[in-house]
With several copies, the nearest count.
Chain A
Amino acid sequence: MPLATFAGLDEAVADLVHDGDTVALEGFTHLIPHAAGHEIIRQGRTGLTLVRMTPDIVYDQLIGAGCATKLVFSWGGNPGVGSLHRFRDAVEHEWPVPLEIEEHSHAGMANRYVAGASGLPFAVLRGYTGTDLVAHTATIKTITCPFTGEVLTAVPAITPDVTVVHAQQADRDGNVMMWGITGVQKEAVLAARRALVTVEEVVDEFTPRPGAVVLPNWVVTRVAVVPGGAHPSYADGYSVRDNEYYQQWDAISRDRDTFRSWVDDNIMRAGGE
């Protein structure tokens, strides 16, 4: 088994994220890998298929910067604030580039990651029935129970070329530990061909913690030490959510020029995080 190696964020993104890749940045409100998203923008990746249950600010930035041509998602808003203006502008006006969308529900997306992590081509759930999503999303089909004859819903596995997550800690061998709300990150990492994990810090040894998830170094490709790499999201035990940033993003993202100069000042000129 190839083991995880350490690298700088710039080098790790250069190695693992290629133009045209299917990329999943996961983190459910907590532990969102913002710094890695900024590095992808800085390196000017294009043609990405972005996968994420809740494309919030991190994907609004990637979409507005023109990195993505397709979005696979289940909820695209600014949590507690409102719209994602760059996402809307891309869908409503094809700016800066047309954005194809593949739209699901949370239950569907979660099960697609589970199927990917399980080495199965699809997952079964009770979902979507009666909604207009069925008519507009090709990756929603019916499947019949071979025992009861009941008709249920099938969705295909998600298997990203690369999954990026942020965690609290890695040990010196590249094993990763995260705790708090861990959402669908384990499944997203196990479903991917390559996995990049940014961490708050490296420790000699993990302290067992309630609710901790450990990713062994043989399912992680690269670890990059990026303290604060989740900001404006947070890392339980290291930082708190920057709720003001989420509110300010509404004004920053509303206007194309304001957004662009924000990207220039805060991402392009900022250098590696």
Chain B
Amino acid sequence: MADWTSDEMMTVAAARALHDGVVCFVGIGLPSTAANLARRTHAPNLVLIYESGTLGAKPVHLPLSIGDGVLAESADSVITVPEVFNYWLQPGRVDIGFLGAAQLDRYANINTTVIGGDYEHPKIRLPGAGGAPEIAASCREVIVVVRQSRRTFTDRVDFVTSVGFGAGPGDRERLGLRGSGPRRVITDLGVLEPDPDTCELVLTHLHPGATVEQATEATGWPLVVRDDLTVTEPPTGTELDVLRALQAGAGGRKPTE
């Protein structure tokens, strides 16, 4: 029995995907946690951009919203929201964009808009696009972080909010999307990556303790497993300590509280 949860493993795996010095467009929640974990471990020079307009934020504790004061106080500069999207994201200055998903299909297209029914009368109305469509289009790379389940990993998404690889090879180019799209989908079970030829998401890593059967069972399309499937390094003691301290201190709470 591991002394860490699958969510912790997922967060650590996401943090490890951020090389030192890269410019990262961060949303609240797990992406922000992973980015701040990376900044406190192997990537001290990570540049964090939050869509609220904080460029180069170095929060002393985990923000609970993208507009927390701690982001503005610690930022290299605070810019307007139009400037974030027009001067910084749109021209492709951001290396990595983090996205979550309510639904994800085999070509890494993402739905965060509606589930079930039709658009005007959905069964479930989700929050919608936010910054995601342009993050997915313009960042050099996209990393999707999402728990893996058959409900989420669907053969077809009910609504394309953000484009992964569209209907397959060549679609991003046809659509004029400048970023290279999702390079990694990091889940609580492992890591999926687009096949170089088909663009279909295939299983490339399993987290310790997870099985191919679990992953297949949690995927709504026939999941291809890559021959060189490897097992993720478990979280190190340091990674776990820093991560837990971060989460305990979220929003500025004293970890002792």
Contact = CB atoms under 8 A, between A and B. Distances in A.
| A and B in contact, CB less than 8 Å | yes
A130 B54 contact: no
Contacts of A54: 130
A119 B91 contact: yes
B229 interface: no
Interface stretch (A12-20, A41-49, A180-188, A220-228): A180-188
A130 B124 contact: no
A241 interface: yes
A130 B21 contact: no
A216 B78 CA distance: 12
Residue in B66, B67, B121, B175 whose Cβ sees the most chain A Cβ within 10 Å: B67
A138 interface: no
Interface string B185-229: 000000000000000000000000000000000000000000000
B46 to A, nearest CB: 11
A151 B176 CA distance: 9
B152 interface: no
Contact of A181 (B28, B29, B56, B72): B72
A129 B81 contact: no
Contact of B81 (A104, A151, A184): A184
Interface stretch (B155-163, B231-239, B241-249): B155-163
Contacts of B132: 105
A79 B53 CA distance: 16
Contact of B89 (A29, A87, A107, A113): A107
Nearest to B119: A136
B82 A1 contact: no
Nearest to A109: B81
Interface string B112-127: 0100000101111111
B80 A182 contact: yes
A118 B76 CA distance: 20
B175 A80 contact: no
13 contacts: A1-B95, A3-B21, A28-B81, A75-B131, A76-B127, A77-B126, A80-B28, A88-B125, A91-B122, A106-B134, A119-B91, A181-B71, A183-B67
Given A76-B127, A125-B86, A131-B163, 10 more contacts: A1-B93, A30-B67, A74-B128, A105-B134, A114-B86, A125-B85, A187-B82, A190-B91, A216-B77, A218-B47
User: 7 tightest A-B contacts by CB?
Assistant: A29-B67, A119-B91, A77-B127, A75-B130, A130-B163, A214-B77, A107-B85
